[in-house]
Structure 1
């Protein structure tokens, strides 16, 4: 197994709002980097090529990590008219770095999750936002400099309205006791779900999913404690504490599965059950 050691210690620690001592930070903190790009899959399911967005901003050791991982990836072949074809799709990757041991100053990086788009999908094949009013940042969280990302699973009816909404996972930018972390996750999850219930969507009118009875989507909602744009954060390490992935009561196994829950860029919608299907682990290191 090839290890990728990255120097993110000072950034990871200073990037968190600390409500506990250094020992707790070492045990819980991860540094995270979200990358996007495109991937081309050969008819046999192997990776033919890939390209990362804004490659010049990405650290060389992370570029090497992605290169090493993609060489081991294999996908279900994409079929068209009964023939396997070359497929090109968008992808997003979540790279995380964790302490090798609680007492180590080194971080080992790996790809923790990935999402892949549909090959050749037209805009009318996809689900898109019609109206989306963002949630209000909870004042108690803003005063406490508590931010993070809430990943919400939605079930959308054929009228484009949300039928069900639940938070799957909440990643935070603070470190505290387990009880306090659980409480802060609820503080951010509650307004996220409440706001998402009132969103409306354009449903697919063409393609494989035009006649689906409903649509299960996954969306991230980001709470930023500082005024930074997603472009400014791209390919930089962001410190966070990953939350547990909760089982959504109404979701089937396909909706709940996948290691890419927190690999979605801000504002992106993932239509669950679509996209290229990776059949190998996203990362072996």
Structure 2
């Protein structure tokens, strides 16, 4: 496992990296590269907030070390009891866990794998009338100047949805790059991908607001929607495989709720719509 991850960190960006003109900043960027894997599944929560069971999606696709790491951490998880009409109930939460591998010291092939972040929420359904649903989420066009230099990545959008279902405001909460350059190039790529995703969402995206439940009378709703920018010949990373990326800094607008402890936007799968808050509130850190 260590040699495989080390090779990934060393080579994954090099094949599609933008031209490098500043060797020092490029070396620094490579030191900040992380190998990552998203693992999804669900946990069952009892009336006391303890995990009574769990399952992984496509477990046959997952490497044993990833499964073992998460399974060692799950028994210690504690949630606030889920209440319905004031009484605790049994509940099932959709689980998404981001594992991150980083080099340790100067030893070649020595890697540290950890649980970086996790999200527990509802399983999305277009038929769920109690939450915001997607109506038209047409993808943005790839910026030609970014495609020409091999720039690519994922923009994690926070969208403020008005009562008419349109995006009132949009912020790029985080931008992770999957191609390297120097600091100036990467900032330009982040800025361009962010602006492209935001402008597209403001102009074209529409949602269906909640029609039932306690959230129907709100002035607006906030959802997260990750947007992938990949070149035409890029293959999507297969589930259960490691991928390399350069993580971006996070920002939060004043109209968004505080980020839950242990959560990072890049825990979410691109293309999905996720409410900013969840009824599943983790009380203990998810560590492993």
- Superposed pair shares fold, TM > 0.5: yes
Once residues 163 and 79 of structure 1 are traced to their aligned partners in structure 2, the CA distance between those partners, rounded to angstroms, is 32
Residues 14-49 of structure 1, C-alpha deviations (whole Å, 9 max, x = no match)? 221344578436511101111211111111111111
For the aligned residue pairs, the C-alpha RMSD in angstroms reads 2.4
Once residues 251 and 56 of structure 1 are traced to their aligned partners in structure 2, the CA distance between those partners, rounded to angstroms, is 41
Mapped contact 1:5–1:109 kept (Cα < 8 A): no
Q: 1:25 to 1:9 in 2, by over 3 A?
A: farther
Q: Which is worse superposed, 117-126 or 150-159?
A: 117-126
CA displacement at 1:82 relative to structure 2:
2.3
Mapped contact 1:132–1:200 kept (Cα < 8 A): yes
Is 1:203 equivalent to 2:209 in the alignment? yes
Mapped contact 1:26–1:99 kept (Cα < 8 A): no
SS of residue in 2 equivalent to 1:282:
coil
Once residues 106 and 209 of structure 2 are traced to their aligned partners in structure 1, the CA distance between those partners, rounded to angstroms, is 47
Residues 73-120 of structure 1, C-alpha deviations (whole Å, 9 max, x = no match)? 111110123221111021211111111225542221112122211389
Q: How many pairs does the alignment contain? A: 279
SS of residue in 2 equivalent to 1:267:
coil
CA displacement at 1:221 relative to structure 2:
0.3
Match of 1:68 in 2: 72
Once residues 75 and 56 of structure 2 are traced to their aligned partners in structure 1, the CA distance between those partners, rounded to angstroms, is 15
Q: 1:120 to 1:49 in 2, by over 3 A?
A: farther
Is 1:9 equivalent to 2:15 in the alignment? no
Instruction: Pick from 192, 210, 215 the counterpart of residue 221 of structure 2.
Output: 215
Once residues 140 and 40 of structure 1 are traced to their aligned partners in structure 2, the CA distance between those partners, rounded to angstroms, is 47
Q: 1:37 to 1:256 in 2, by over 3 A?
A: closer
CA displacement at 1:164 relative to structure 2:
0.5
Match of 1:36 in 2: 40
Once residues 220 and 77 of structure 2 are traced to their aligned partners in structure 1, the CA distance between those partners, rounded to angstroms, is 31
SS of residue in 2 equivalent to 1:125:
coil
Mapped contact 2:29–2:183 kept (Cα < 8 A): no
Mapped contact 1:247–1:256 kept (Cα < 8 A): no
Q: Which is worse superposed, 96-105 or 135-144?
A: 96-105
Once residues 110 and 282 of structure 2 are traced to their aligned partners in structure 1, the CA distance between those partners, rounded to angstroms, is 30
Once residues 180 and 124 of structure 2 are traced to their aligned partners in structure 1, the CA distance between those partners, rounded to angstroms, is 42
Gaps spanning 5+ residues in structure 1: where? none
Gaps spanning 5+ residues in structure 2: where? none
Match of 1:241 in 2: 246
SS of residue in 2 equivalent to 1:124:
coil
User: Taking structure 1 as the reference length, what is the TM-score of the superposition?
Assistant: 0.89
Q: 1:120 to 1:271 in 2, by over 3 A?
A: closer
